[in-house]
Chain A
Amino acid sequence: MESSVVSFIMENIILFLVLGTIGIVITIYLFLTGEKVDQETKDNLESDYISISKFKFNIYVLVYLFIFIMIIIIGVFSNFIKPISIGGIIALIPVFLLTLLKIKVNNTKEH
């Protein structure tokens, strides 16, 4: 997506201009003519948890960990240990952060 892609787009500029213009015009029309309705003002995050035996798991963390584990397994079989070790540590940061914040919020609620 760097300069070569920009050059590529410049070579197909008419196509992109036509698509872009149609999209912008229709979006503006939809914005201006849209009927407004009352919306819920709170995110329901509890429904993102699924129960497995006694424990509740965040579905997104489970899916993320599934990807993580599969990549690690493939990496090990590919004999690509060092890069997946470094990448693995970085990839776990969001999970650790989410877990820590959840524990902190739960502790705050209990007190």
Chain B
Amino acid sequence: MLWVDINQNFGEQTEFLLPFLITVFLVWLILVIFSYYRNGLKKTIMYFLPMIIIALFIESAGVASGRYNYPGYILYLSVVGGGVPLIIILGWSANLFLFFNMSKHIVLNVYQKRNFLQIFLISITAGVIAVCLDLLEDPLAHYNNWWIWKESVGGVKFYEVPLLNFVGWFFLIFFMSLSTLLIERSKFTDNRKLLISITSISITGSVILAVHGLFSRILQMIGLA
């Protein structure tokens, strides 16, 4: 089921892949180290590992379905048929940690009450921040072939990047932030939180796929995807 592949032709078909990889790896490393010193080992695993697993499944399914692919990377992992670069999966975990923490700083300045509404607002804001950054990153990634969207993918596009990609970014970060914050603020012990964060991936992943699938249908019906 899980396979690992090492590509001998690093950078093939791509432009400026190395600086992109260094950037993603540095960001991931800085955030993991910072989280380790700020939150400890268990919470750091709780913040990063679930997103790594869920990104592996979603990205692998995305590649296997033939909508996009990742040429020229070094180390690929696959769980359901599509090879995904390890660095992309690590990048997703850094994205989640970065966006929901930035979002906390925004929301807590305007709404201090510690309740579900606050968690919901933090998650929505995290999703919006993700889309804001992706509007910068994704067109450049497609242009430099860091990942390639197939031309057969139709609908509204922003510099060759389909609208559904941004919808996917929003839902993935929104639901993962929601799940992470709900577990983080529960009254369980840290060990239990860590276990729940891993086992609940199946629930969060199913919700993400169902909501995104439904939203895609709606966008297709009105001709936007």
Q: Mark B117-155, 1 if CB is under 8 A from A, else 0.
A: 000000000001100110111011001100000000000
- A residues adjacent to B (C-beta < 8 A): 1-9, 12, 15, 19-24, 26-27, 30-31, 34-39, 41-43, 45, 47-48, 58-61, 63-64, 66-68, 70-75, 77-78, 80, 83-84, 86-88, 90-91, 93-94, 97-98, 101-102, 104-105
Which candidate, B4-12, B41-49, B195-203, is the interface stretch facing chain A?
Answer: B195-203
Which residue in A9, A67, A75, A105 is a CB contact (below 8 Å) of B27?
A67
11 contacting pairs across A/B (C-beta < 8 A): A1-B58, A2-B216, A3-B213, A9-B209, A22-B202, A30-B199, A35-B189, A48-B101, A60-B102, A63-B31, A101-B106
Contacts of B31 in A (CB 8 A): 63
A2-B164 CB under 8 A given contacts A74-B140, A83-B140: yes
Instruction: Using CB atoms, name the residue of chain B closest to A66.
Output: B27
Give B31 Cβ to nearest chain A Cβ, in Å: 6
- Is B75 on the interface with A (CB-CB < 8 A)? no
Q: Flag if A94 contacts B137 (CB, 8 Å).
A: no
Majority DSSP secondary structure for residues of B touching A? helix
Q: Flag if B195 contacts A87 (CB, 8 Å).
A: no
Give A22 Cβ to nearest chain B Cβ, in Å: 7
Which residue in B81, B105, B205, B225 is a CB contact (below 8 Å) of A98?
B105
- Is B65 on the interface with A (CB-CB < 8 A)? yes
Q: Flag if A61 contacts B58 (CB, 8 Å).
A: no
Which residue in A41, A60, A72, A91 is a CB contact (below 8 Å) of B105?
A60
How far apart are the CA atoms of A86 and B130 in the complex, in Å?
Answer: 16
Q: Mark B74-102, 1 if CB is under 8 A from A, else 0.
A: 00000011000000000000000010011
A7-B105 CB under 8 A given contacts A74-B144, A77-B16, A78-B140: no
Q: Flag if B202 contacts A67 (CB, 8 Å).
A: no
- Most B CB contacts (10 A, CB to CB) among A1, A3, A64, A98 go to A1
Contacts of A43 in B (CB 8 A): 104, 108, 114
**8 shortest A-B CB distances, which residue pairs?**
A23-B202, A87-B136, A2-B216, A101-B109, A4-B65, A91-B136, A36-B187, A70-B23
